[in-house]
Structure formats: C-alpha cells, structure tokens
C-alpha cells in the first residue's frame, strides 16, 4: 500500500484508510466484536495504517473496538477520533447536541485515550463546528492538549473555508474530514482550494456515497430499521431510482478499465490530489480487499476529465442529510 502525507502536517498514512463507524453504529446492527477485531487486523495485514473512529460511534463502543484491535500494532498505525457531540437529555439521550467547550474537549480526550488504549491521540477532529463556541477557543483547547502530549494532530470535520482559516491561525490544522465523492462535489468550490493554499490534508468520508456508488444498492433495496440511510432524503426509493444514472455511468467507465465501480470512485478521489486520503468503511473482508485495490488503479488527467464531464450532466436528487443534520455542516 502506498503512503501519503496529509498536507504539511507531516502525518503519513496509507493512501486508503478504514472508516470503522459502520462496524458499531448507524449502518444496521453492530458487528460481533470478534469479527470487527478480525476485520481491522486484516486491514493492517494488507497495509492499511489509518483508522477512523469517534466517541459518538456506538457511543463509545467503536473506540473500544478499534483500541482493542489495534493494540498489538500501536507503533504501526494512525488512529483518528473525534470530539464535539454529547447526548441530549431532552431527546432521549440521542447524540444531536453539539458541545465543543474547551473543558468538554479535554474530558473527551481523557476518555478516548483510555478507550483507544493509547498514550496520545494521533489525530483529534472536531466532529462538527459548534456555533456556540468560537473556533479559536476550540483550536486553543486542542493546542493545549498537543502541548501536553495527549494529542499529536488537530483536525476539523465538515467545516467551511473561513472556519478552517480561523482555526488554522491558532493551531495548524493537519486534516479536514468531510464528505466528498462523485455524488457530493461541493468541497471543490471553496474548501479544496483553501486546503491546498494552507497545506492541509483532506480525508473524504462516505467516498462511496454511503455505499450507493458500489452499484449494490437500487430503488428496491431494503435497509435494516437501525440504518440511518432510512432517514436520508437522497436514499428514499424515488431518489435512488433517479440517482441510478450516476452509478450506471460509473459502471460503464469501470467496465472499460476492468475494475469495479467502487474502485473507480475511490481511484477518482486519489487522482484528484496527492494529499487526499479516502476512508471507505465496510464490515466485509471481500469489500475491504476490493476497496484497497483502488490504490492500484491509475487514472490519467484525460480519464478524470471524461468522468467529470459525463457525470456533470447528471443531476443528483435528494439532500445528503436529514434537515437537523444538514444544519451542522459547512459552517
């Protein structure tokens, strides 16, 4: 597996990471813990050195899973986790309240260190921008944790260009994690140029459109009742039917290259910039191997232009999040 550096932060990771959320949370029933550990360790064996989790995934159980699975490989891997959510007692304990107050960030860091079984968090992202706390205070709190040796790198998630600039002025931001794929290209407008200017790496989550770009989901697909895609407008049956046009297009390009649609979608991201590191998630070994195969797919500038030209004619239907979640993105 090739390595990449996330911007100027000197953080080197495998060209493709592993998003671990779905093993515990949000995409149907949680995996059996033993199976989750086995899958994470299989990723290490195949050259993956970058693993993504968060306290909110579970909550807490995903960090525990990742911590246990990677304990034997601690010096070989980079673990990213996140702060910024907390349960809302007015809504049955659901994690839909933002809290990035400095004292809360420090508490989360201490708890995450224990669950991950590490002495320092490699990359600590603010999970979503909290408009009640100036981003300078957030960056300052993480800066203190870095000075104390408890955190190595600072990251943001789903932040807008101005927020990134303000945070970076207080504590250099190593990476931004946001949704980015062939069916969500909004970061190209302002965010990608800002990251390039400031020397910040980009970690696309949902690089396969929450599974849609694999070609394995259609209008008739039924999701488990615990799967959050049931709440996403883009995933209602009518919109899935309309959005199939993008998957059909990807499939044609993939067939010509003798790769899968998922591999083509990931290869497209890798070809965009050398400091982009996607983190597709999976619960299946054969999907893990398929995703990692994308690192061996070289797309030329002509390939990129052809894919982007054709896909730009396809209108994507449906919002990418329910309304309450949309309000926490792009701030």
Q: Residue 319 falls within a domain, yes or no?
A: no
CATH of the domain at 291: 3.20.20.100
% of the chain beyond a pLDDT of 70? 98
Q: Residue 312 falls within a domain, yes or no?
A: no
* Residue 160 binned pLDDT confidence (cut-offs 50, 70, 90): very high
Q: Which of 93-97, 123-127, 188-192, 318-322 shows the lowest mean pLDDT across its residues?
A: 93-97
Q: Residue 309 falls within a domain, yes or no?
A: no
Q: What is the pLDDT of residues 2-31, one digit of tens each?
A: 999 999 989 999 999 999 999 999 988 999
Is 321 an annotated catalytic residue?
A: no
Q: Say if residues 82 and 97 touch (Cβ distance below 8 Å).
A: no
39-74 burial, b at 16+ Cβ within 10 Å, e below that, comes to bbeebbeeebbbbbbbbbbbbbbbbbbbbbbbeeee
Q: Residue 116 falls within a domain, yes or no?
A: yes
Burial tier of 171 (Cβ tally within 10 Å: 0-12, 13-18, 19+): buried
- Token readout for 116 is 């991950």
**pTM recorded for the entire structure:** 0.96
Pick the catalytic residue: 57, 125, 180, 321? 57
User: What is the number of domains present in the chain?
Assistant: 1
* Residue 329 binned pLDDT confidence (cut-offs 50, 70, 90): confident
| Distance in angstroms (rounded) separating the CA atoms of residues 274 and 292 | 16
What domain range is 11 assigned to?
3-209+273-297
- Token readout for 224 is 């488990």
Place of tokens 């994507």: 316
Q: Residue 219 falls within a domain, yes or no?
A: no
Q: Residue 266 falls within a domain, yes or no?
A: no
Q: What is the pLDDT of residues 285-308, one digit of tens each?
A: 999 999 999 999 999 999 999 999
Q: What is the pLDDT of residues 218-257, one digit of tens each?
A: 999 999 999 999 999 999 999 999 999 999 999 999 999 9
pLDDT at 88: 67
Q: Residue 277 falls within a domain, yes or no?
A: yes
Contacts of 323 by beta carbon, 8 Å cutoff, 6+ apart: none
Q: Residue 255 falls within a domain, yes or no?
A: no
């Amino acid at each position: 597996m090739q390595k990449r550096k996330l911007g100027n932060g000197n953080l080197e990771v495998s060209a493709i990471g592993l998003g671990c959320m779905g093993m515990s949370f949000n995409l149907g029933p949680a995996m059996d813990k033993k199976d989750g550990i086995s899958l994470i360790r299989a990723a290490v064996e195949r050259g993956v050195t970058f693993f993504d989790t968060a306290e909110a995934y579970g909550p807490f159980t995903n960090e525990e899973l990742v911590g246990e699975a990677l304990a034997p490989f601690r010096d070989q891997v980079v673990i990213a986790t996140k702060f910024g959510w907390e349960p809302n007692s007015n809504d049955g304990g659901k994690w839909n309240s933002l809290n990035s107050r400095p004292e809360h960030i420090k508490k989360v860091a201490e708890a995450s260190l224990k669950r991950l079984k590490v002495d320092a968090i490699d990359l600590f992202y603010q999970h979503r921008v909290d408009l009640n706390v100036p981003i300078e205070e957030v960056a300052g709190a993480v800066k203190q944790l870095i000075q104390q040796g408890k955190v190595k790198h600072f990251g943001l998630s789903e932040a807008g260009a101005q927020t990134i600039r303000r945070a970076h002025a207080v504590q250099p931001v190593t990476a931004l994690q946001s949704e980015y794929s062939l069916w969500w290209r909004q970061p190209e407008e302002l965010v990608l140029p800002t990251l390039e200017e400031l020397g910040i790496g980009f970690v696309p989550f949902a690089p396969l459109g929450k599974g849609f770009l694999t070609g394995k989901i259609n209008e008739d697909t039924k999701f488990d009742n615990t799967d959050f895609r049931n709440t996403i407008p883009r995933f209602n049956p009518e919109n899935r039917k309309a959005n199939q046009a993008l998957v059909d297009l990807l499939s044609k390009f993939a067939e010509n290259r003798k790769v899968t649609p998922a591999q083509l979608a990931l290869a497209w991201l890798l070809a965009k910039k050398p400091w982009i590191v996607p983190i597709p998630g999976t619960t299946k070994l054969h999907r893990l191997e398929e995703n990692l195969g994308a690192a061996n797919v070289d797309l030329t500038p002509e390939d990129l232009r052809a894919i982007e030209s054709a896909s730009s004619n396809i209108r994507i239907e449906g919002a990418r999040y329910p309304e309450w979640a949309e309000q926490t993105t792009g701030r």
